[in-house]
Structure 1
Amino acid sequence: MSIQLQYVNITVNDTDEAVAFYRDALGFEVRNDVASGGFHWITLGSAAQPGIEIVLSTPHAGRSQADGDALQELLTKGVLPNIVFRTDDLDATFEQARAAGAEVLQEPIEQPWGPRDCAFRDPSGNLVRISQAPAA
């Protein structure tokens, strides 16, 4: 038996702003853009991992009003779980994201636990970390 990650959901305030960040700053490709029943979500992926996608949606998409309100409050506070991506060229990825206007929180540094990484906030305030495995 094998199991693989298929989707990761990222809650955002504005899907258009989020697409610009994840597509232009990080290089993901839009795979699907769906509007259904008053909700909207966008799926993005990477050629490097064709079977794994991220899904961008707003707090109320497919949720009750109360749950959407609670999720919106957590998003506004910036306390939703962070998102960590891996790259084979951290410096180039960092420069691409910075050139696209991403809010830099941490420039690339060596972490005591091994990887080099950097950090950004997406337009909705989600913490996005990008790491590169240590050289073997």
Structure 2
Amino acid sequence: MQQQLALVSLLVRDYDEAIAFYCNKLGFRLIEDTPQGKKRWVVVAPQGDSGSALLLARASDAEQQAMIGRQGAGRVWLFLQTDDFERDYQRMAATGVQFQEAPRYEPYGTVVVFADLYGNLWDLIERKNT
């Protein structure tokens, strides 16, 4: 049996503003944007990704709206791995991505924390070969 984690659902306020952020600022590709009545099935993924993607899920009630930007409870909970940290860091900085710190050079690789448009915390990381 083979399994893989395909989608992670991320609560968003608005589909179009989320697509703009993830595609224009982070450089993700829009995989799918299919209307489903009052909702849309919107999937974005990093360039060159091997299967995992984000399902952008518009919050549908007050309880879900209160969780936008808080799904990680204030912790880094999403990790964007790259093969060229400096390239992606400079591109993201040029598009206005909000970094929470200066890049760090750790034993495991180069990393920096950034916030998405809702305040969710991410790591941009280039791991050292082990």
TM-score normalised by structure 1 residue count: 0.80
Q: Equivalent residues in 2 for 1:35-50 (5 A)? A: 35-50=35-50
CA RMSD of aligned residues (A): 1.9
Deviations 1:53-73 (A, max 9, x none): 21112111xxxxxxx322221
Q: 2:79 maps to what in 1? A: 84
CA distance in 2, matches of 1:7, 1:99: 28
Q: 1:65 maps to what in 2? A: none
Q: State the identity as a percent.
A: 27
Query: Match for 2:117 among 114, 118, 123?
Result: 123
Where structure 2 has 5 or more consecutive residues not aligned to the other structure, the ranges are none
Q: What letter corresponds to residue 128 of structure 2 in structure 1?
A: P
Q: What letter corresponds to residue 87 of structure 1 in structure 2?
A: T
Instruction: Give the paired residue count.
Output: 126
Where structure 1 has 5 or more consecutive residues not aligned to the other structure, the ranges are 61-67
Q: 2:65 maps to what in 1? A: 72
> Cα distance, 1:41 vs. partner?
3.6
> Cα distance, 1:79 vs. partner?
2.6
- Structure having the larger proportion of residues in helix: 1
CA distance in 1, matches of 2:10, 2:58: 8
Q: What letter corresponds to residue 48 of structure 1 in structure 2?
A: G
* Greater than 6 Å deviation, 4+ residue runs: none
CA distance in 2, matches of 1:86, 1:47: 11
Q: 2:15 maps to what in 1? A: 15
TM-score normalised by structure 2 residue count: 0.83
